Chain A
């Protein structure tokens, strides 16, 4: 099959939120001699980018994006395993991310993590209900460029402010950028606590990250 056909099929499998088809396409494209990087960048990543756009426009909802991003991760995993080490993609930056202490909501964060990885970031996902000091320690350990914190509740959003303070106390604030997300975060909140950015949707986060890192 022609490359264009494979790419089209890869994109469609994500738009159809069909994880079985996505995995099968990844496998068969490799067997057919397709370049894994092309399949990732032009195929599956493009599929999830389109899903992200549809989500931003309110034409696709969270369950669709969730299943689409899982389908993409499964396919990318197969393709990456076929990449020689020297061909693996250069990372755009290192990100440590987690949901703040007291908050166990992490659906949105899970999607952001997938999207950031697709766009070429190295992401260390700490998970949910994470104490502030773990963000700081992990960021130091992996020499993070960005720390992202998510809060979904008015009770837990103060954790995002504590993170800013903890980074200052640790003498690290000028070495990393910070981004906040979650249902209760806003641009106003980000400015007020001194965070570098607020990411509203996956696409918004990717766009703003590019700006603050360059």
Chain B
């Protein structure tokens, strides 16, 4: 928390803004997917593993991106992988809504789907760690949530052909994420992380971010009273200036984005989190390469060492521990 408050911490913090759960952690704490996606107690046990097993400096809940979408009526697909492995649930096809439908925010939103279990998990984790370790609650950004409801392809086409038709969906997305954030804070979370994957320049044009998402994301962060993290995947150079204008406390960066560029474009105040590539380095390589990548990221201006995105569940514990070792040396 010292880093967020612009004080000098005892050492560099290390934690994930996105999911850091792995199969090895599930085994150790005996909390497995899919149960840990939908049952508050199992979710809390697995979330705590990021601190008890990895030693990370914050605990993130939950592990998937379907809570708001499910509560708003999206069709959800279980996280089944080949060889009976468990992954994270996703949005099923065909989409539940069409762009011309009228978006509705249900009054009982917070009581729908698995949201009550998520809130339960946050309060269990908070009770367990008290004020020793910050708890991060995850929400989904307006653009990504709109895509979960009307499907990504119609969303992308509309950015080009009929951007005004997207506004009611972005409004709904903002409202849902903000409502969830407030409930998560009431349950005990210290930080809110907003993941907005679909707002990446790898999917939408940068001007779409500026003209559509900037307004809704700013409104969302203005309504959240605790420190916030904004995570957008991919190389965000063309939009990072506007990301910072939405006023998060921390920007969580994919390794495709150079922290030096972000610092230049966003000024000295914003805290930068990120460091190690998840699909190739953390999952497939070993401690030597992880150490090298971490050191480079720190030299480039990363202030909180973290995986660059959600970690693959098959990632070895020793690789994640290496990141913490490096952070302890700074």
Contact = CB atoms under 8 A, between A and B. Distances in A.
Given A107-B156, A188-B280, A155 B87 contact: yes
Contacts of B90: 103-104
A62 B202 CA distance: 7
B120 to A, nearest CB: 24
Contacts of B311: 154
A132 interface: yes
A119 interface: no
B156 A63 contact: yes
Interface stretch (B5-13, B75-83, B121-129): B75-83
Q: What are the nearest 5 A-B pairs in CB distance?
A: A154-B312, A155-B87, A184-B279, A61-B205, A102-B81
Nearest to B83: A162
Interface of B: 77, 79-83, 85, 87-88, 90-93, 152-153, 156-157, 159-161, 201-206, 208, 233-234, 238, 278-280, 283-284, 309-315
- Please report whether the interface of chain A is mostly helix, strand, loop or mixed according to DSSP: loop
A61 B153 contact: no
Contact of B156 (A62, A132, A162, A189): A62
A62 B152 CA distance: 11
A157 B279 contact: yes
Contacts of A107: 152-153, 156, 203
Contact of A192 (B88, B202, B234, B284): B284
Interface of A: 17, 58, 61-64, 66-67, 100-105, 107, 110, 128-129, 131-132, 153-159, 162, 183-186, 188-189, 192
A66 B157 contact: yes
14 contacts: A61-B204, A63-B208, A66-B157, A67-B160, A101-B80, A101-B81, A102-B79, A104-B92, A155-B312, A155-B313, A159-B82, A186-B280, A188-B284, A192-B284
A193 to B, nearest CB: 10
Contacts of A110: 153
Contact of B204 (A63, A156, A159): A63
B157 A63 contact: yes
A129 B314 CA distance: 20
A69 B81 CA distance: 31
B82 A101 contact: yes
Q: Which of A104, A185, A192 has the most CB of B within 10 A?
A: A104
A159 B83 CA distance: 9
B279 A159 contact: no
A155 B81 contact: yes
A63 B157 CA distance: 6
A85 B192 CA distance: 61
Contacts of A186: 279-280
A14 to B, nearest CB: 14
Contacts of A156: 81, 87
Contacts of A153: 87-88
A87 B82 CA distance: 43
Contacts of B161: 67
Contacts of A155: 79, 81, 87-88, 312-313
B314 A158 contact: yes
Given A67-B161, A102-B79, 10 more contacts: A61-B204, A63-B157, A66-B157, A104-B91, A107-B153, A154-B310, A155-B79, A183-B202, A188-B284, A189-B280
A157 B157 CA distance: 27
A186 B203 CA distance: 18
A41 to B, nearest CB: 27
A59 to B, nearest CB: 10
A129 B315 CA distance: 23
Contacts of A101: 80-82
Contacts of A63: 156-157, 159-160, 203-205, 208
A13 to B, nearest CB: 15
Nearest to A60: B205
Contacts of B208: 63
Contacts of B284: 188-189, 192
A184 to B, nearest CB: 4
Nearest to B310: A154
A124 to B, nearest CB: 20
Given A62-B203, A63-B156, A154-B312, A102 B280 contact: no
Nearest to B315: A154
A136 to B, nearest CB: 12
